[in-house]
Structure 1
Amino acid sequence: MKPHRTALIASLVLAGGTALTGLAPAAQAQTFDPCSAANHGRLRYTTGSAAHVVFAISSSFDSNHVVVTECAKQGNAWKRVSVTTGRAGTGAFARPGAKREGDGATPTGSFTLTEAFGLGNPGTKLKYRTLRSSGDCWGATPGKSHYNEYYSDPCRSTDEDLSAIAQRGPYHQAVVINYNRPNAKPGLGSAIFFHVGGVTPTGGCVSIAESRLRAVMRTLVPNDRMIMGPRSALFRS
């Protein structure tokens, strides 16, 4: 790590008590604090009743590199808790309302977080489902039953086999991002998760390193939020 970068990270940690990890792919965004911007009324989206908000921010609609920042509510203000880098979909970010099934894009907007799944609860207060070695599925086929929701059965080939994907790594841990759910509209996109990864693009989800995801999950409670998309779409200048 270059000396000036070491000094910058050290100064940020001393100033705000913030853990900054793995920022090389999106170093241009490391000085932007979405928690502070939200405090100053610049956020375009609601935080609802969230006690924690996780921001996944890219530089543009064409970029799938994101800076993932966790903010915690303290009184009437948001305080930055942690920052890391991650990846979004192969199709980068869809403009609001433009997300469609199979486009590889990550939806832009503010979405509640109410449940999670994986190989074992890391300590989250979200509703948690421990996956089995087989038989855990997520509907991703427009017009079929269980579209954009969990079901237990032999998985259709056009749906997501959560059990198998967990064995490969990405779903060791995952938080369900409530895009197009409940009451999913067929074809607008499904299976949008906050999961393990952070190195390569996803199919439309947001991913970060497993150790960082587990740490974030331990702070989450039902109706916390993920707010994600390009900085210009999420914040006023």
Structure 2
Amino acid sequence: MRHPAHPSTPTRSRRPLAHRLVAVLGSALLGVTALGLPAGAAPVPDGEEADDDAPPVVVPGSAATDTGAAPDQGGTIGSVGSSPTFHLSNSPTGASPRQVIFGRTGDEVFIADTDGNGTDEMIVRRGAEFHVSGSGGSAVTTHRFVYGRAGDEVFFGDWDGDGVDTPAVRRGNTFLVRNENSAGFATSSFDYGRVGDEVHVGDYDADGLDTIAIRRGIQIHVRNTLTSGPASVQWPYGRATDSVLVGDTDGDGTDTFHVRRGSTVYVSDSHGETTADRTFTFAAAYDVAILGDWDGNGTDTIGARAADRSSWGRCAPLSLGQSRYDTGLTDRVSMAVAENWSTSWATFTVCERVPGSEAYRERWSTSARIGANGTARPGQPAAWHTYRTPTGAYSVTESFGLYDPGTALDHRILTPYSRWGGTPGRNYNQYYDASSPSMANTMPDENMWRLAHTRGGDYRQGAVINYNRPPDSPIREGMGYAIFLHANPVATAGCIAIPEHLVSRYLRETQPGDTMLLGVRDHLFG
């Protein structure tokens, strides 16, 4: 809404497969696509092997934190938003954990058995260099090597059945597998899934070899060979917003999928099940849960990587579960938070979920303007006639503007025909094309083309907040329409307004279905 004119793991010869990766959240439910490019040796350049004769070094902790975009986490256990403190338990229920400190705040960390002794280690990656800890969570680096490029997604697995976990990198949907923990060429390569799929590594058929599974929404697609092709087996499990852990928690040699919700882990001991076999509680919801064989007994047990609370910033109430409104555990929650019901000022903050946990770190924030008359209380009309911004949590699925800033949202380029309906009837609170072009004021319908060319350029860029409209709710005439995030930060008729370059940044970073939380601080976070 534009501004108003006036204010008013297993017991066998090989080590247990415990190097499981905390899941990055899934995307929309889709079928598997695997392109059949031929497997074969493929180079993974850009690295030189580290000096293996160098003495062991301790990887010290530090307070360094990444304030830029979080990298694609892939197989990492947390990253930005996670501390170097780990709590590891040898009990199947997480009892009596011990604390280990390894690496730095924000490091990418992997869990794997890189020496084949049956006990998992922690591995830190900085750039393209990997620092391997001693077995069972030792804080001392015992080995270093370089592989791949700094921006690669990396996964560890026992790809050849020799009991030693080694890296594979994913570029696009191509996996480049190496069977040594050293710099060099890939041993083999194959294509599987789609770019952006959530990847999990495991021995899913107890044959001693790790393979790839992907997760989309609630569907799990397992392939039991390191080749291109369709899934060997697939089934639905859990919810799309769940964090998923893979490991062998009953010691039978087969890695299975477990769901983590809050502090509860739902354990499944076989594939194809849609219900859990047992549950247990461990760690805070804002910590990152991990599975590993910390004592070499052939069974994976739980651990946690503690959250870096200093990265939460204004997103701390989300991390602590204090929101009165369900934000859906989406990857990003953006908030326009006012300090009282009558002010037209708010703080706009973009919060990014820490992979594998329910914590959110502050991505960026700015001052914002909202309704000239402040914020509507729950259930009250918003926008035109009230000049108030609605309260609640709403999805964002589409956007508009004079140009495409590079967004994944359904983006509409405005034309002289572009309108947003405010007149009761079939066009109320939705986009439509007028029968003729015009720069006239068409209120109560909004002439979006005109509002993109005013001096303030309100609609040069904007995101549609799904208040009083599908997919969040049916449209109710009279409850308000055209609630947007848009440019030109002056008091509005109900929208959220921030500078145009930040609207463009928001559009570039946002994915369909991300959440927008609107309201007054004391009401939102009870």
Same fold (TM over 0.5): yes
Of 210-219 and 96-105, the range deviating more from structure 2: 96-105
Which structure: larger Rg? 2
Distance 1:178 1:227 in 2: 11
CA distance in 2, matches of 1:159, 1:209: 24
2:372 is aligned with 1:105: no
1:51 Cα deviation (Å)? 1.2
Question: What is the alpha-carbon distance in structure 1 between the residues aligned to residue 446 and residue 374 of structure 2?
Answer: 20
Aligned with residue 177 of structure 1, among 455, 462, 465: 465
1:146 alignment counterpart: 427
Kindly indicate whether residue 363 of structure 2 is the aligned counterpart of residue 81 of structure 1: yes
**What is the CA-CA distance between 1:16 and the residue it aligns to?**
7.0
Q: Partner of 2:491 in structure 1?
A: 201
- Which has the larger share of helix? 1
Letter aligned with residue 89 of structure 1: G
In structure 2, which of residues 435, 441, 452 is the aligned counterpart of residue 166 of structure 1? 452
1:63 is matched with 343
Structure 1 stretches of 4+ moved >3 Å: 154-157
Whether 1:53 aligns to 2:325 is no
CA positional deviation for 1:145: 2.4
The 1-side partners of 2:65 and 2:520 are apart by 26
Report the Cα offset of residue 41 of structure 1. Answer: 1.6
8 Å contact from structure 1 (residues 18, 80) kept in 2: no
User: How far apart are residue 65 of structure 1 and its match?
Assistant: 0.4
Deviations 1:54-110 (A, max 9, x none): 100111001110100000112212111001001001121000111245211100110
Q: Distance in 1 between matches of 2:516 and 2:332?
A: 9
1:135 aligns with 2:423: no
CA separation in 1, counterparts of 2:329 and 2:398?
16
8 Å contact from structure 1 (residues 49, 223) kept in 2: no
CA contact (8 A) 1:18 1:82 kept: no
Q: Are 2:316 and 1:36 equivalent residues in the alignment?
A: yes
Matches within 5 A, 1:15-26: 17=67
Q: Which residue of 2 aligns with 1:90?
A: 372
Q: Is the 8 A contact 1:196 1:208 kept in 2?
A: yes
Letter in 2 for 1:152: D
Q: Do 1:18 and 1:83's aligned partners in 2 also have CA atoms closer than 8 Å?
A: no
- Structure 1: distance between partners of 2:491 and 2:65: 32
Of 117, 122, 127, which residue of structure 1 is paired with 2:405? 122
2:433 maps to a residue whose letter is S
How far does residue 202 in structure 1 lie from its aligned partner after superposition? Answer: 0.6
User: Equivalents in 2 of 1:90, 1:201: separation in Å?
Assistant: 5
Distance in 1 of aligned mates of 2:338 and 2:319: 20
Deviation, structure 1 residue 17: 2.5
Letter in 1 for 2:67: G
**Is 1:16–1:80's contact at 8 Å kept on the other side of the alignment?**
no
Which amino acid in 1 is paired with 2:430?
A: E
> 3-state SS of the aligned residue for 1:229?
strand
CA distance in 2, matches of 1:153, 1:62: 36
Question: What is the match of residue 482 of structure 2?
Answer: 191
C-alpha displacement of 1:157:
3.8
Q: Which segments of 5 or more consecutive residues in structure 1 lack a partner in the other structure?
A: 1-13, 20-31
The one-letter code sitting in structure 1 at the alignment partner of 2:459 is Y
In 2, the alpha carbon distance for the partners of 1:118 and 1:127 equals: 11
Q: CA deviation at 1:15?
A: 6.3
Code of the aligned partner of 1:187: G
Q: For 1:197-237, what per-residue CA distance to the aligned partner results, in whole angstroms no more than 9, with x for missing partners?
A: 22x2011100001111111111101100110111011102x
Q: Is the CA contact (8 Å cut-off) linking 1:140 and 1:160 kept in structure 2?
A: yes
Query: CA RMSD, aligned part only?
Result: 1.9
CA distance in 1, matches of 2:332, 2:348: 13
In the alignment, what sits opposite 1:229? 519
Which whole-Å CA distance do the structure 1 matches of 2:469 and 2:414 have between them?
A: 21
